[in-house]
Chain A
Amino acid sequence: MPTKIEKDEITGTETTGHEWDGIKELNTPLPKWWLWTFYATIIWSIGYFIVYPAWPTLSGHTKGTLGWTQRIEIAQRMEEAKASRAPFVGRIEKASLDEIRATPDLLNFAMAGGRSVFAENCAPCHGAGGSGAKGYPNLADDSWVWGGALDDIHTTIAYGIRNANTQSRISQMPRFGADGVLNAKQIDDVAEYVLSLSKRSTNADAVKRGETVFSENCVACHQEGGVGSTDLGAPNLAANIWIYGGDKATIVESVRNSRAGSMPAWTGRLDDATIKMLAVYVHALGGGK
């Protein structure tokens, strides 16, 4: 500290006593309001340290007197959200699928809920909007393996396909080639026949031979003309819609080694109301019967 207070002549302000090559520093203190705000924030921060988690310790951190954590907060928020949905969820639990579809506010709620649950649980395989992928059926078209009515869709979602659930939908196509039921020639012929069902075959002789093979081996499930059966879970072969692909090589592969995609049962993973909402949502994607 300088022993003698020096005043700058031009500004009339005191100097700090610091001098560099004749240049002196004026003593211009911070504005009072700024300084007091600064002190107030320091005092405020002490309270903050006490009530909130603040300091790291060797094995964790101080907990704060409020006991506040982000985890507790998010849990509370989730509870609040659940509570706010509860009236609708209760009504959906009680209503039938057709009643949900016929009640505008329930339908609205089911569609919004269904969309978000679908994006979380179904879209990884069935694609956004149910657009499907190889091995995973398109849910927006009008062709269904296990049926496209509301109840059919609900059953498929609830119990899944070819899984450990006792009520799971099950169908089993034989491995015609791998197990030696049909030889390569027969498989080629039956593939030509299947192609002919959607008017894409180029070999009339093979189609004729394949028709015989089809009627002896396939017709029990895939029905006359290959129209399939939703009761048996046998896909329609006469439509332009394919789960694994409609080119000849893929059809040959399907006949030779069979196909057996599976879907988990959602009962137990999702609650009843959520599965109902999903069924209504999937039904509305465009293919619902």
Chain B
Amino acid sequence: MDGTSPPDADAAASKAGHVAVEDAVSTKVQKAATPLYVSRIKVHPKDVKGLYRRIKWAVLALCLAVYYLAPFLRWDRGPTAPDQAILIDLPGRKAYFFMIEIWPQEVYFLTGLLILAAITLFLVTSLFGRLWCGYACPQTVWTDLFMWVERKIEGDRNARIKLDAAPYTGEKIAKRALKHTAWIAIALATGGAWVLYFDDAPTVIRDVFTGNATLTQYFFIGMFTATTYTLAGWAREQVCTYMCPWPRFQGAMLDDQSYVVTYEEWRGEKRGKLAKAAPGVDPWAGRGDCVDCNSCVAVCPTGIDIRDGQQLECIGCGLCIDACDAVMDKVGRPRGLIRFDTLANQACRAKGEPATHKFIRPRTLIYAGVLAFVGAVMLVALLSRATVELNVLRDRAPLFVTLSDGNIRNAYTIHVLNKTHEPRDFALAVSGLQGAVLGVAGSDVAAAPVATLSAKPDSVATYRVFVTVPAQSVRGKASSPVRFDLKPREGRGHADYDSVFLAPGR
């Protein structure tokens, strides 16, 4: 007892076998008592210990470790490419993910990755409920971290409520200043880590601290610092309830077979404070297991009362389960009055039937099927990814040139994309026109049926190529289709490009 509970709560607690009764009212109830427009009701979640709290800490540590450490992983790609395992190289127009390397024209891999992530989220949600919201979402992770800092500095729920109401004294100002400094420090680290994914991480860190980083880097550090501080420090559960679209449409993924946080109303009701019964009389006769201690409301990070049933605001973190289990242990009733369960199971339990859970349902089968299909398509696309590409742009001015011997010449700008880490020579040939020869602008090599183009590692080589055709090959044809074929002199790979050859048409 911390002495801040109202006296009647103390009295009730002593009666109820030392179960602390929380002076917590869900935001829903608080809002119902106020007019249409009302400011946010601040939520002061209480600290809790238990299985789900431990899982939440573990996931939080894992997520933060991945976020902060991943940019420092190295992956050798030879001397011509960066050795950072995960890197989005915007100036170089490339994205690296371990052995995968993506060029701008392959951005569909990113689309595929986002589709995979979305379908996985759908599948997991339909199977296990809001695991993402409750455990892995960055909003949840950073809010949890910020709350932990707040708790360390300002104390637990009751101390914070008291501090909120207190006038500004030196102590309050000091505590608040310390809290916000700590928050901003974390936010700065968050923003700082973000830019590490866009350039060589150790270099960026050195540049940032020596003032040599680019304005863009400082801007994005500032922006993500501001959003982290605002969203995790101030907005918190409002992001989940009002800003995030995901809770709105995830209802479509959930059904009565999905795991959600449930309150066993059939055994909890009729709830009431536990009164000391006379010796020999069962204190639980004629009443439910819920002792109405409000612990579940006090620990809830979104400030709801899970006993009201399924709610949009519930992020499925399970902290109320930990709170309730602790109370059930104290009063000697079975755990799991609040538990992860399906609505169908709860209906069965209420009727005393055995709970049967169906993982395989049309919904999960469809999600799994789509997931497997998209994954397979992505895998095939990745494995068969071309290491050479060819782009051909026909010159438009002049459309064609008549040479003094009557031959017709067209000029093309050729882009050779060498996606390997070695310099390569390519043979460019043109087909579709009799007697066509290729000449490379700026090269002293005479025009020949096949031209050699070389390209540096990981780069696009640009050449201007003249295609000259004997007049009789294009007599009477204003436009003829031609195909450019590009093959490496050594090794595998092939690229072609269809273009046209223009002539006077006489």
Binding site for B on A (CB under 8 A): 11-12, 101, 107, 127-132, 138, 140-143, 236, 239-241, 284, 286-287
Docked-complex contact A141 and B404, CB < 8 angstroms: yes
Partner among A101, A128, A236, A240 whose Cβ is within 8 Å of the Cβ of B406: A240
Decide if A140 touches B398 in the complex (CB within 8 Å).
yes
* Given contact pairs A129-B398, A131-B401, A236-B404, a sample of 7 additional A-B residue pairs in the complex whose CB atoms are under 8 Å apart: A128-B397, A131-B399, A132-B398, A141-B401, A239-B404, A241-B403, A286-B466
Q: A138–B403 Cα gap in the complex (Å)?
A: 10
Consensus secondary structure, chain A interface? loop
B35 partner residues in chain A, CB cutoff 8 A: 11-12
Contacts of B411 in A (CB 8 A): 140, 286
Separation of A286 and B442 alpha carbons in the complex (Å): 9
- B404 and A241 within 8 A (CB): yes
Q: Is B181 an interface residue (CB 8 A)?
A: no
Tell me the B148-179 residues at the A interface (CB within 8 Å).
Answer: none
Q: Is the CB of A101 within 8 A of B442?
A: yes
Dominant SS at the B interface?
loop
Q: Which residues of B contact A240 (CB under 8 A)?
A: 402-406
Q: Would you give 15 A-B contacts (Cβ < 8 Å), ordered by A? A: A12-B35, A127-B397, A129-B397, A131-B397, A138-B401, A140-B401, A143-B404, A239-B404, A239-B405, A240-B404, A284-B441, A286-B401, A286-B411, A286-B441, A287-B401
Cα–Cα, bound, A248→B150 (Å) = 95
- B380 proximal to A (CB < 8 A): no
**Known interface pairs A11-B35, A12-B35, A286-B411. Does A107 touch B401 (Cβ–Cβ under 8 Å)?**
no
> Chain A contacts of B396 at CB under 8 A?
128-129
Say if the beta carbon of B395 comes within 8 Å of chain A.
yes
- Across the two chains, which residue of chain A brings its CB closest to B471? A240
- A142 near B403 with CB under 8 A, answer yes
What are the 6 tightest A-B residue pairs by CB atom distance, in nearest-first order?
Answer: A131-B398, A129-B397, A239-B404, A128-B397, A143-B404, A141-B401
Using A12-B35, A129-B395, A132-B398 as known contacts, say yes or no to A286 and B404 having CB atoms under 8 A apart: no
Closest B residue to A12 by CB, please name it.
Answer: B35
Interface residues of B in 361-412 (CB under 8 A from A): 395-399, 401-406, 409, 411
Residue among A132, A142, A284, A286 with the highest chain B CB neighbour number at 10 A:
A286
Q: Give Cα A130 to B399, complex, Å.
A: 11
Looking across the interface, which residue of chain A has its beta carbon closest to that of B409? A286
CB distance from A197 to the nearest CB of B (A): 12
Whether, in the assembled complex, B278 has its beta carbon less than 8 Å from a beta carbon of chain A, the answer is no
**What distance in Å separates the Cβ of A70 from its nearest Cβ neighbour in chain B?**
23
A101 to B444, CA, bound (A): 11
Quote the shortest CB–CB distance from B454 to chain A (angstroms): 13
B36 within 8 A of A: yes
A11: which of B36, B398, B399, B403 is its contact (CB, 8 Å)?
B36
Bound-complex Cα distance A141 to B464 (A) = 15
When C-beta atoms are compared, the residue in chain B nearest to A28 turns out to be B37
Tell me, in angstroms, the Cα distance from A241 to B404 when the chains sit together: 6
Q: How far, in angstroms, from A127 to B397 measured CA to CA in the complex?
A: 8
Question: Which chain A residues border B466 with CB–CB below 8 Å?
Answer: 286
A141 pairs with B402, CB closer than 8 A: yes
Q: How far is the CB of B502 from chain A (nearest CB, A)?
A: 12
Check A142–B404 contact: CB distance below 8 A: yes
In angstroms, how far is the closest chain A Cβ from the Cβ of B398? Answer: 3
Instruction: Report the separation of the CA atoms of residues A101 and B396 in the bound assembly, to the nearest whole angstrom.
Output: 24
* B-chain residues with CB within 8 Å of residue A140 when the two chains form the complex: 398, 401, 411
